[in-house]
Amino acid sequence: MTFCTGCASPLAPAMSVCPTCGAIGESTGAVRKDRVPSAASRRSMLIRLLYLAPVLLVFAVAGGFVQRHTAQQQWLASAYASAEGAANTGDLVSAHEGFTSIAGYRDAASRAQEMEIQLEPLEAGYADGLQAIEQGEYAAAVALLAPVAERAPALNDVVTRLDDARRLLANELRRDVDGAESVHDWPAAERLLRELVAIDPSDDTTRSRLAVMQREHGPIVLGNDRALWLVAPDGSDPRQITDELHIIWPVWSPDRSQIAFLAPDPDDPMGNVSLYSIGIDGSSLQRLVDGVSAHAAPAWSPDGAHIAYTSFAGYDAVFETGSIGVRFVDIASGKETDLTGDQYALAFNPSWSPAGTEIAFVVKHQGLGERPQHSPGDVFISNVAQKSFENITDGTVRDVWSAVWSPRGDQLLLYSLFGQTWYEPPSTSIRLLTLESGEIDQLARIDEDPTMPAWSPDGTRFAFTTEEKTIVIADSHGKREAVEVAETLSGEITWSPDGQALLLAPWDADTPSTLLDLTEQEPSLSTVRFEFDASPPFISPPQWAPAAPLPPTDNPSLPAADANQDGE
């Protein structure tokens, strides 16, 4: 069988001319095309193409549909991912709109409903916030709108309305501050100024006004005639909190809501001393633990959840057996944790790190019959969660007595004390230990007879007294400024909340305390009279309240659930 080379029609062997297109074949029997196809041939080809056209159209339509479907699926997947991302970041409005726009894709409909359920209380809060603004209840409006703006900032105009509420509340608070100041209601004025700072922390004018208010009128806690008192910095407005116990070493909590103190048990012939806490309004007095050493003030953790102290609970004073150690108590549960246990025979003077995760304390390596004041010692740091211990001085400061953590967390002030018997005055000195390098610098020598140093609230400076009537203000770079005062000083120092003043307790409580004002280039001195208990060991010197409530730390000192009664 042969075929025409012109139109591909089949040809019988004997045919030399194609019956379809008229092409003339060669001798080989194949037919070649050497002229234009006839009309019949073209008509035949057109017919064939017409038969093929629907098939080609079907393929074209199918291809377009596949391409469009693929593009649509890609868009749906992208839109779903965007909505999912908005949900994960808390943008409920965008997430709801995104899932709603693709309701037929995957579980988008149910996710949209989920977002709608989460938005319902926020929308209600938004509506209530607007109503509060209209009624002039600006504090309530801020309280209602703030969580809405945080969780759903794209919800209507919530951010703008929150700004309006804060502005109106600030104007109202400023008027209230002026009114409180005019009637000398300093606690109310300070509280209102704190609220103003919370509304706009960048308002330097209000912050400065608050600092002055705290320095000039902020409360000071002290113990007098066995009772617990709050007094203004100028000695006025005394207010008794409680007289139920003999107060020793009162200490503010970081948020100023409570005061911790020690008190002896009048019914215990062995002289047991207990740790207490009480609200500043005199409420919630609670006895936390017994067997506490009265030689130093208790130490609050930065988050105010725990108090650390030196404990005699594991020591038998009659047989002189057991251990004196460092413990801390959970305020909420009352559970006590023995941090050092029987690992060290004599550990004392705990100091919390600013993060609340570690405690520094002193360990004395006491020999048989040797007094603690004559025993060599070291500074240890314990990670309270891991219950690990590290000796950070390792024999380099043998006479160390206490270690006080800088508010910045990078340094420790080491106070050394040697001697101190009825016939021997103590020898003291101050050193600065930098934690990162381990370097130890001497800041005050033995011949200066320095007292226990106190860090400024921001950790940039510290102060101590020397030679009975000199107050020294120094920094870690060696810069020192000494100021002579009129009265003999006890060495008990408290900084004003803004770090711009120092209150120096006298050796004789019948003489006035000294106030050192650091606001000007040259420090200025004045006196103020406080009546406080100053007879060892029942010491209750004045202490300025801290500046303001501290924010929660990333690492709280220790979860309450981890504190065990037996320290296990």
User: Mean pLDDT throughout 125-129?
Assistant: 92
Distance CA 195, CA 209 (A): 13
User: Mean pLDDT throughout 257-281?
Assistant: 90
Domain spans in the chain, listed from the N-terminal domain onward: 1-37, 116-210
What pLDDT was estimated at residue 197? 87
Distance CA 98, CA 87 (A): 10
The helix/strand count (H/E) of the chain reads as: 7, 34
Exposed/middle/buried for residue 126 (C-beta within 10 Å: 0-12, 13-18, 19+): buried
Judge whether residue 90 has pLDDT over 50: yes
* Phi-psi label, residue 213: left if phi above 0, alpha if psi -120 to 50, beta otherwise: alpha
Predicted confidence band of residue 408 (pLDDT cuts 50, 70, 90) = very high
Secondary structure of 218-258 as H, E, C letters: CCEEEEECCEEEEECCCCCCCEEEECCCCCEEEEECCCCCE
pTM of the model: 0.73
DSSP code for 376: -
What pLDDT was estimated at residue 57? 66
Strand 480-484 relative to strand 273-279: parallel, antiparallel, unpaired? unpaired
* Phi-psi label, residue 241: left if phi above 0, alpha if psi -120 to 50, beta otherwise: alpha
> What are phi and psi for residue 299, nearest 5 degrees?
-120, 115
Any residues with CB less than 8 A from the CB of 403 and at least 6 apart, and which? 349, 351, 360, 361, 362, 379, 412, 413, 414, 415, 433
Q: What CA dihedral angle connects 83, 86, 88 and 92, to 10 degrees?
A: -100
The 10s digit of each residue's pLDDT in 462-473 is 999 998 899 999
User: Biggest alpha carbon distance in the chain?
Assistant: 148
Judge whether residue 130 has pLDDT over 80: yes
CB 160, CB 148: distance < 8 Å: no
Distance CA 564, CA 544 (A): 33
User: Mean pLDDT throughout 393-406?
Assistant: 94
The 10s digit of each residue's pLDDT in 312-326 is 999 887 777 889 999
Q: What are the b/e assignments for 200-225, b being 16+ CB within 10 Å?
A: eeeeeebbebbbbbbbebbbbbbbbe
User: Mean pLDDT throughout 437-464?
Assistant: 92
